[in-house]
């Protein structure tokens, strides 16, 4: 794989040195090109640079790096790996679509796993940009891996009724009435499921048409799916739905 450009945002020199050493030893394709030690200097740096990976501490000279995450656009394109002494911020970090959350003291194994996840995402994004998706990515998906703070949940696509947008993350509604929260936005899953039988019927809903039963047209448009669940269909999507169903 090509060389990976990285930036480190860390105000503790000892932790910075340990991270650099582990990257050299265990992740040799990752090259650190710049560093920042405060929120303001990090924002200035990220406005100038577009690194592949950003390694970021939570506490920066008395300020929180969540200030940085809030100012990054949703589609910033960078893989953010948080490295922190505080486990309590993990869920909040994943809601900002970070790639991984690694606790201090830093363990090489955990760092390598986080970097491998970031590299996998980088490869996928580059394949999408060049429209050079290999054959296996053009087939319908059978399973999806949904990362959370405690574990990675592997679900079967055939068990998903619909996906619902919740800000920067997505709720998977399963046919057994359980829910799974994912730290990616709905648009990303729409792309992943483009070869499955899923259709965007609303700006916040991606429906599995394998479970579609009928369309209600009284007091607006609603899709009956699964166990009599009424999903709203936006006016902008109704014509698209009719074409999908060969009604137009």
Domain boundaries, the chain: 4-130, 142-244
pLDDT at 206: 95
pLDDT on residue 148: 63
| Residue located via tokens 């902008």 | 236
Q: Is the pLDDT of residue 97 over 90?
A: no
Whether pLDDT at 242 is above 70: yes
Convert 86-132 into a string of H (helix), E (strand) and C (coil): CHHHHHHHHHCCCCEEEECCCCHHHHHHHHHHHHHHHHHHHHHHHCC
Classify residue 193 by its DSSP letter: T
- The predicted pLDDT at position 27 comes to 95
> What's the CATH fold of domain 4-130?
Rossmann fold (3.40.50)
* 142-244: in CATH 2.60.40.650: no
What confidence score (pLDDT) does residue 133 get?
47
Dihedral class, residue 208 (left if φ above 0, else alpha if ψ from -120 to 50, else beta) = beta
Q: Which stretch, 59-68, 132-141, 218-227, has highest mean pLDDT?
A: 59-68
Q: Taking 90 as the threshold, does the pLDDT of residue 10 lie above it?
A: yes
Say what the alpha-carbon torsion angle 72, 75, 81, 83 is, to the nearest 10 degrees. 30
Half-sphere exposure of 185 (CA within 13 A, CB side): 11
Evaluate if residue 155 carries a pLDDT over 60. yes
* Mode of pairing for the β-strands spanning 160-166 and 169-174: antiparallel
User: Which one has a higher pLDDT value, 185 or 111?
Assistant: 111
> Residue range 88-92: average pLDDT?
89
> What is the token pair recorded at 162?
């619909």
3-state helix, strand, coil in the chain (%, to 5): 35, 35, 30
Tell me: pLDDT of 66 over 50: yes
Question: What residues contact residue 228 under an 8 Å CB cut-off, 6+ apart?
Answer: none
Confidence grade of residue 248 (pLDDT, cut at 50, 70, 90): low
Coil/strand/helix, residue 146: strand
- Please tell me the pTM assigned to this model: 0.56
Percent of the chain exceeding pLDDT 70 equals 90
Each residue's pLDDT tens digit, 112-124: 999 998 888 887 7
Which pLDDT belongs to residue 150? 64
The mean pLDDT value for 63-92 works out to: 85
Is the fold of 4-130 the same as that of 142-244?
no
Residue 42 main-chain phi, psi, to 5 deg: -65, -45
């Amino acid at each position: 794989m090509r060389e990976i450009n990285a930036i480190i945002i860390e105000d503790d020199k000892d932790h910075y040195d340990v991270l650099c050493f582990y990257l050299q030893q265990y992740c040799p394709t990752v090259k650190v090109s710049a560093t920042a030690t405060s929120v303001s200097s990090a924002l200035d740096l990220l406005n100038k640079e577009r690194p592949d990976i950003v390694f970021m501490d939570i506490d920066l000279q008395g300020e929180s790096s969540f200030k940085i995450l809030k100012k990054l656009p949703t589609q910033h394109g960078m893989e953010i790996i948080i490295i922190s002494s505080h486990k309590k911020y993990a869920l909040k970090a994943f809601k900002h679509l970070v790639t991984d959350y690694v606790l201090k003291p830093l363990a090489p194994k955990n760092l390598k796993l986080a970097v491998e996840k970031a590299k996998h995402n980088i490869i996928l994004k580059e394949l999408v940009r060049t429209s050079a998706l290999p054959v296996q990515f053009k087939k319908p998906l059978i399973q999806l891996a949904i990362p959370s703070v405690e574990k990675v949940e592997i679900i079967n696509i055939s068990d998903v009724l619909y996906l619902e947008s919740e800000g920067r993350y997505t709720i998977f509604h399963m046919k057994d009435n359980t829910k799974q929260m994912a730290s990616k936005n709905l648009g990303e899953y729409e792309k992943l499921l483009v070869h499955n039988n899923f259709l965007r019927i609303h700006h916040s809903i991606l429906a599995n048409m394998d479970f579609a039963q009928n369309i209600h047209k009284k007091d607006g448009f609603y899709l009956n799916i699964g166990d009599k669940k009424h999903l709203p269909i936006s006016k902008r999507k109704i014509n698209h739905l009719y074409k999908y169903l060969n009604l137009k």
